[in-house]
Amino acid sequence: MAKMYYNNDINEGVLKEKKIAVIGYGSQGHAHARNLKDSGFDVVVGVREGKSFDQAKEDGMTVASVKEASEQADVIMILLPDERQKKIYNEEILPGLAAGKSLVFAHGFNVHFDEIKPPADVDVFLVAPKGPGHLVRRTFEAGAGVPALFAVYQDVSGNAQDVALAYAKGIGSARAGVLETSFKEETETDLFGEQAVLCGGTTALVKAGFEILVEAGYQPELAYFETLHELKLIVDLMYEGGLSGMRYSISDTAQWGDYVAGDRIIDAGTKDRMRELLSEIQSGEFARGWIQENEDNRPQFDAITEKEEAHQIETVGKKLRDMMPFVNQR
Ligand code: NDP
Ligand code: MG
Ligand code: MG
């Protein structure tokens, strides 16, 4: 069993004396900043003027520019989009990154793929919640938490691990469990998970199911409920009780269908292609492609986004969700 850390294993005192800069106030940024503040830590949010800046002010946070926040703080958590971190780090964060400070990430991408090369005299670690930022905040407010990984890349002070764990406790993750990893393991598994299962695999499966039903003449609204809406309800059961817990709740007919159909959809060929994704992640090929796509100003990213947003499952879904205000929490 991996070693897990929970609230009682962690002394947050080491972080209480320090000032924390949360750089970026997006999905993860707002959640980390607000949870840390509510946990009694000294937090300054570093953002440029605009939407995030206004939101942080409205939420009652202390706000500064990225440069000022980096200068002021002892612990600097970078919660900017991965593809923009290198430039902002070099121009606005590095000048304030004096010896003895901590440089922190929520994903190892830039350090692992050598885009950001931290100076030798600072602690470097990551605290990566295993869930979307909005849920890091929502579960915290509900008294719960999203599990997280932590990894120490560089330990100059000798207490990088204690600071990392205190940070994880501050955002509520040690209520759910915190697990030690490395930058390499976090980066590769995170990219694989989102590509093969959580995002890429799931959206492709949902769309394929929806399209097949609609092409066969079934009502699009029904197809939406069947392939997208109900997925959440099934996943909630998996989240609570694993695969067996989910199967306990569904009918025996559904369970039998699960057994006889699942392997025909995800077969050995699918697994071979999943292994291909993993090796492209491990070799750095995926990262190089994504960095290049950004250097080219995202031609494919924008074209695919436009096409995906126009898909019938999106137009049908929007109408149905508008009638379910309880679904639309964000
Ligand atoms: P978002 O895209 O949600 O937020 C980005 C933030 O960065 C915004 O506040 C944005 O402000 C700000 N920003 C962008 N460009 C600049 C700039 N040039 N100068 C100053 N501020 C800028 O990012 P995420 O929260 O999704 O991701 C942050 C990190 O967390 C990444 O490393 C990601 O891999 C990691 N992570 C994300 C997860 C998630 O749930 N999304 C899950 C686990 C890890 P503005 O409003 O001004 O554009
Ligand atoms: Mg992830
Ligand atoms: Mg990710």
Query: What pLDDT does 326 receive?
Result: 86
Give the whole-angstrom CA distance, residue 72 versus residue 76: 9
The two tokens of residue 120 are 């030798």
Question: Which ligand 1 atom is nearest residue 66's CA?
Answer: 20
Q: Which ligand is nearest to the CA of 286?
A: 3
DSSP string, 18-84: SEEEEE--SHHHHHHHHHHHHTT-EEEEE--TTHHHHHHHHTT-EEE-HHHHHHH-SEEEE-S-HHH
Q: How far is the CA of 65 from the centre of ligand 2 (A)?
A: 27
What separation in Å is there between the alpha carbon of 319 and the centre of ligand 2? 29
Which residues, by Cβ under 5 Å, contact ligand 2, an ion?
Answer: 190
Does this model's pTM top 0.90?
yes
User: Helix, strand or coil for residue 8?
Assistant: helix
User: Is 107 among the catalytic positions?
Assistant: yes
Which protein residues are within 6 Å of ligand 1, measured from CB? 24-29, 47-48, 50-52, 66, 79-82, 84, 88, 106-107, 128-129, 132-133
Measured in angstroms, how far is the CA atom of residue 167 from the centroid of ligand 1? 18
Name which of 154, 34, 155, 26 is nearest 84 in CA terms. Answer: 26
Binding-site residues for Mg(2+) sit at: 190, 194, 226, 230
Q: Whose CA is nearest to atom 28 of ligand 1?
A: 79
What's the helix, strand, coil split of the chain in %, to 5? 60, 10, 25
Please list the rounded mean pLDDT of every run of 10 residues in the chain (330 residues).
Answer: 92 97 98 98 98 98 98 98 98 98 98 98 97 96 98 98 98 98 97 98 98 98 98 96 97 98 97 98 98 98 98 97 80
Binding site as annotated, residues? 25-28, 48, 52, 133, 190, 194, 226, 230, 251
Q: What is the pLDDT of residue 235?
A: 97
Q: What is the ipTM of this complex?
A: 0.98
Distance CA 188, CA 44 (A): 30
CA of 190 to the centre of ligand 3 (A): 5
User: Which is it for strands 4-5 and 178-180: parallel, antiparallel or unpaired?
Assistant: antiparallel
With the most atoms of ligand 1 within 8 angstroms of its CB, the residue from 27, 45, 90, 130 to mutate is: 27
Residue owning the nearest CA to atom 44 of ligand 1: 106
Q: What ligand 1 atom has the least distance to the C-alpha of 25?
A: 9
Q: Which ligand is nearest to the CA of 148?
A: 1
pLDDT at 325 (0 to 100): 86
| Closest ligand (CA of 191) | 3
Domains and CATH numbers, the chain: 4-181 (3.40.50.720), 193-322 (no CATH)
Decide: helix, strand or coil at residue 235.
helix
- Judged by DSSP in three states, 311 sits in coil
